[in-house]
Every structure is written in C-alpha cells, then in structure tokens.
Amino acid sequence: MHNDIKHILFTEEQIQNRIGELGARIAQDYADKNPLVICVLKGAVLFMSDLVKRIEVPLEMDFMAISSYGVSTKSSGVVRILKDLETGVEGRHVLIVEDIVDTGLTLSYLRDSLLRRDAASVRIVTLFNKPSGRKIEITPDYSGFEVPDEFIVGYGLDYAEKYRNLPYVGVLKPEIYS
C-alpha cells in the first residue's frame, strides 16, 4: 500500500467485480442504441477503460475534460470545459462516465450542456457516489459504491494530480493535505 494512504476502502478486486455488474446492466439497457459513452477526463479515465470492456454491445466513445477542483480538496464551484467533444450529440443516447459525484456541480453542468445540444437521452454512471457532499440535486442512474465524507484517492481520483494510478481506492492521510 502507498505510504500516503491511511486505509484502503475498495480493493482492485472489489472495484473490478462491481464494474462487471454495472457493465452488464448498462449493456441490457443500451442494446441496439449505439450509445455515445463520454469519459469525463481526467478522473474517469481508468473507470472508462475498464467499464467499456464490460458493456458488450456496440457503442462509441468520446472524451471531455472538465475541471472544478484544481489543487484543492474542495470543489471551486466553477466548472470549466478544458476539452470539448469531437462527436455531435444531437439525437444520440449519451452515457456520461464519472469517477465520483460529490457536490454534483460538474455533472449537473455537463448534463444540462448535453441536453441543450439536443441529446436524445442523457444518463450518468459513476463509480463512486458521495451523497453527503451534494450542493445541487443530482442522482446518478448507475452507481458503483457509496462513499463516506472523506477525501479519497486512487483509481483515477487525484489529490493535486497524484495517486490516479493506484489500482485501489483509499483515504488519504490528513497530514498530506493539511
């Protein structure tokens, strides 16, 4: 285990098993819809690449980079698009892939923006959900795990751009960010 991690919340095996379950459900719901699966960079990149392998129906992928945190453990509340989609979403069934929903600001901004571009439907899959953090009401359509009100890192989730490459998710030692 990485020295900056206080304890592990979800092991690599738990994460991969849950992704298999989510992928199977999504495949049932999107058979024959050729969904446009959108990865929200950078945090969702590991989840995206494991999830799409478990959605065994035709789909397309695109990527969007959005940032609201910067070098902080708190959301700035200001959502910025750093890289936009290459695919038109008009008439498409869109599935947004996120690593975590905390305040909900990132996803509510993104969902509204895709609906304004006339997507046929917009659903959200998140690996982690932190309902206690919400500042705006948003409920993911598919969610892997509920997480406590602690700052977690790993499997895509960063603190100041570090720890994204850990294959598990853990709680950061408080002395690392205080």
Q: Is 84 a catalytic residue?
A: no
- Closest approach, Cβ 144 to ligand PRP, in A, equals 14
Task: Give CA torsion, residues 106, 93, 47, 63, to 10 deg.
Answer: -70
| C-alpha span between 109 and 37 (Å, rounded) | 17
Residue 103 lies near ligand PRP (rule: CB under 6 A):
yes
The nearer residue to Mn ion, 107 or 119, going by C-beta atoms, is 107
Residue reference for tokens 């509340």: 77
Residue 14, contacted partner among Mg ion, Mn ion, ligand PRP, none, CB below 5-8 A by kind: none
Question: What gap in Å lies between CA 128 and CA 157, rounded to an integer?
Answer: 10
Q: What is the x/- site pattern for Mn ion, positions 109-138, by CB under 5 A?
A: ------------------------------
* Partner in contact with 102, chosen from ligand PRP, Mn ion, Mg ion, none, beta carbon below 5 to 8 Å by kind: ligand PRP
Residue with tokens 């917009």: 122
Among 43, 104, 154, 170, binds Mn ion (CB under 5 A): 43
Q: Which one of 100, 124, 127, 172 is in contact with ligand PRP (CB under 6 A)?
A: 100
Distances (CA, A) of 66 to 29, 38, 60, 82, 95: 27, 12, 20, 6, 16
> Rounded CA gap, 95 and 81, in Å?
18
Distance (Å, whole) CA 123 – CA 111: 8
> What is the distance between the alpha carbons of residues 127 and 101, in angstroms, rounded to a whole number?
9
Q: Kindly write out the interface string for residues 131-170 of this chain, putting x where it contacts ligand PRP by CB under 6 A and - elsewhere.
A: ---------------------------x------------
Using rule CB under 5 A, residue 104 touches Mn ion = no
Stretch that binds Mg ion, among 31-39, 132-140, 155-163, 164-172 (CB under 5 A): 155-163
CB of 96 within 8 A of CB of 38? Answer: yes
| Binding stretches for ligand PRP (CB under 6 A) | 40, 42-43, 67-69, 75, 98-106, 158
Residues marked as catalytic: 102
| Binding stretches for Mg ion (CB under 5 A) | 69, 158
